[in-house]
Structure formats: C-alpha cells, structure tokens
Structure 1
Amino acid sequence: MAEIQQSADSGGKGGKKRAKKMSTKIDMTPMVDLAFLLLTFFMLTTTFAKPKVMQISMPVKPDREEEQNELKASDAFTVLLGENNKIFYYEGLMDPNTKLQPTDYTATGIRQILLQRRASRPSTVVMIKAADKANYKNMVDILDEMTITGQKKYALVDISKEDENLIQKSGL
C-alpha cells in the first residue's frame, strides 16, 4: 500500500507542553485506482480520427480492344508533375513542337487553367503524368484540383521518356 509519512509535531518552542499529535497516513491506492479508471473511460469513449478517403471512379475494362475510343489531339490536356513541387502542362498530344508551360498549385495556377480549358472544350480529357521524383502530396493535390474543377474525364498515366526530356529541356 502506498502511504505518505508525515513527521509528528511535538509543539515546537518551549513553554507549554502540548499533546503529541499522531502522524497522518494517507492511503494513495484509491486515488491511483480512480486515475486508471478515468484513463480507461476516456480511452474507450474517444472517437479516433477517421482516415480521409478520396472517391476515384475507375473505368470498366472493355472485353474487346476495338471498344476503346481513340483520344483526339484536340481533347487532350496533359499535366506533368515534376520534382520540387513543380507542375507543367501542355495542350494536345506529344509531338516535336510541343511547348511546355509551367504553373503552380494555387487557385490562380492550375485550377484557373483547368477551368478555362473545360469552359472552352467540355470534352477535355486530362492526362496526369508524375515523374519518378514527384512527391505523393502533389499527386493528391492534382486529384483534388480535378474534383474542385469538376473535371469528369482524367487519367493517371505513366510518364514517357519524351515527357521527361521535355521537362529537362525546359530548364525550370
């Protein structure tokens, strides 16, 4: 049993003799029991943080290859995620004359570009290509932008060697 011993007081200074006081004993066991009961109660009644999940609709794989639609160059819009939180885009499909445009993740950056593109061509398909050194946060950010801008058609595509060369040539 846990106890706290206190010294007895004999009265102090000379003069009158007082009766000797007995030392008080405080039993700490019930307080420790109460602390553990409260701790257990609060642990069991607390709601834990729920993980946040983003809903992604995946296309159904067609039975035959001829059912797949060919993407038109005029509907294509490619977003490249580079290292060091850099983001680039270009319109159309990759060709030797493709000009890479830098932007950022702000509301006046990629969000504004996506909104303008969707307003001018509602059938736009956004292809998202992440470089090997791009970080996971950037991928989540661009997927959030797809949801915010209401972009219905987008695809996560492996980055090609031509796209990586284009990023390196841009020097940004």
Structure 2
Amino acid sequence: MALIPQKQRTGNRTRGKGFHLDMTPMVDLASLLLTFFILTTTFARLQTMEINMPTANGPDTPIPGKNALNIVLDKENKVYYFFGYPGDEPELKQTDLSANGMRQVLLSEQVKDNPDMVVLVKATAGSRYKNLVDVLDELKITGTRKYALVDLREEDKALLSSR
C-alpha cells in the first residue's frame, strides 16, 4: 500500500487526518488491461516460401527448348528473358520486375497455355538478392508451379554479352 505523507501543521488550525491512498486496485486494473491487450493482439506472421531444391545426386531431367523460359538477373536491376536455350539462338528481351514487366511475361499465353513450361531463373554475379526474391514473388503471384534456380552457364554469358 502506498501512503502520501502529509505535512504537520502547527498553529491555530486543527490537525486534519492523514490522507491514505490505496494503489492496489489501480495495479490490479493495470495488470488486467495489460494481460487483455497482450492476449488479444494479432502478431504479424512472417511470410515464407518453401523451395524444394534437388539433391546433387538427383537425376538430370532434360527440358525441351519449347518448354523452357529463361529469366536472367543482371546488375543494375536489369532482367532479361528468352524462350528456349542459348544454342537455339533465341531472342533476348529485356524487362523489369514490375507488374507490367515480368508478371505480364509469366501471364502470357506462351507460358500459361503450356502446362509443361518450366521457368529457369539464373543470376549473374552482379545481380542483387532482392531481385531474386522479387522474381520468386512474381512466380508465386502468377501461380507458376514449375521453376528452378539454375547456375548461369557460359552460353548464357555469351548471349548476354552479344546484346
């Protein structure tokens, strides 16, 4: 219990009673309110994406060129894409990671109408991790089910340098 000390008055005035303030109900109320707000608060949940990576000893499944969409992440937030493989001399196109860029490519008829389409995501040494996360987000948003993170090969580097 908390007491507030009173000054002693001397003189002609009569001595009043000391004031006693009991803080126990206030502490009880504060602890009940704190408990209530802690238990009723919804905490922000982390959003994670599960990626199943193949094992090093797993089978190498060849993908026909007509079923391959290659996305290459380059420095300065540049994103290139092409259908097929570099040996087939594909047309290299540049886009960005906006809703009008990569998302429209992933929603195009050439990708959505082909149930066997596999998206191969490749990153150069100068690309940023944020761009990889953005591409994975776009794949999730567009509902793309088949994709893989692939190492950049020499043929891909040659195709990029010829641009």
Q: Do they fold alike, i.e. is TM over 0.5? A: yes
Is the 2:118–2:146 contact (alpha carbons within 8 Å) kept by the matching residues of 1?
A: yes
- Alpha-carbon distance in structure 1 between the residues aligned to 2:16 and 2:99: 76
- Normalised TM-score (structure 1): 0.66
Task: Tell me the residue number matched to 1:149.
Answer: 142
Where 1:74 maps in the other structure, the secondary structure is: helix
Is the 2:95–2:101 contact (alpha carbons within 8 Å) kept by the matching residues of 1?
A: yes
- Alpha-carbon distance in structure 2 between the residues aligned to 1:6 and 1:165: 89
Is the 2:79–2:94 contact (alpha carbons within 8 Å) kept by the matching residues of 1?
A: yes
- RMSD of the alignment, in Å? 3.8
- Alpha-carbon distance in structure 2 between the residues aligned to 1:162 and 1:60: 24
Letter matched to residue 51 of structure 1:
L
Is the 1:80–1:129 contact (alpha carbons within 8 Å) kept by the matching residues of 2?
A: yes
Task: Tell me the residue number matched to 2:26.
Answer: 31
Equivalent in 65, 68, 73 of residue 65 of structure 2: 73
- Alpha-carbon distance in structure 1 between the residues aligned to 2:43 and 2:91: 48
Q: How does 1:1-172 map to 2 (within 5 A)?
A: 1-7=1-7, 19-56=14-51, 65=59, 69-95=61-87, 97=89, 99-116=91-108, 117-119=110-112, 121-164=114-157, 167=160, 170=163
C-alpha change, 1:94 and 1:5, in structure 2 (3 Å) is: farther
The structure whose Rg is larger is: 1
Structure 2 unaligned runs (5+)? Answer: none
- Alpha-carbon distance in structure 2 between the residues aligned to 1:106 and 1:18: 82
Where 2:82 maps in the other structure, the secondary structure is: strand
Identical residues among aligned pairs (%): 43
For each residue in 1:1-38, what CA deviation from the matched residue of structure 2 results, as whole angstroms up to 9, or x when unmatched?
Answer: 5433355788xxxxxx6544334232435433442343
Is the 2:79–2:97 contact (alpha carbons within 8 Å) kept by the matching residues of 1?
A: yes
Is the 1:118–1:151 contact (alpha carbons within 8 Å) kept by the matching residues of 2?
A: no
Structure 1 unaligned runs (5+)? Answer: 11-16
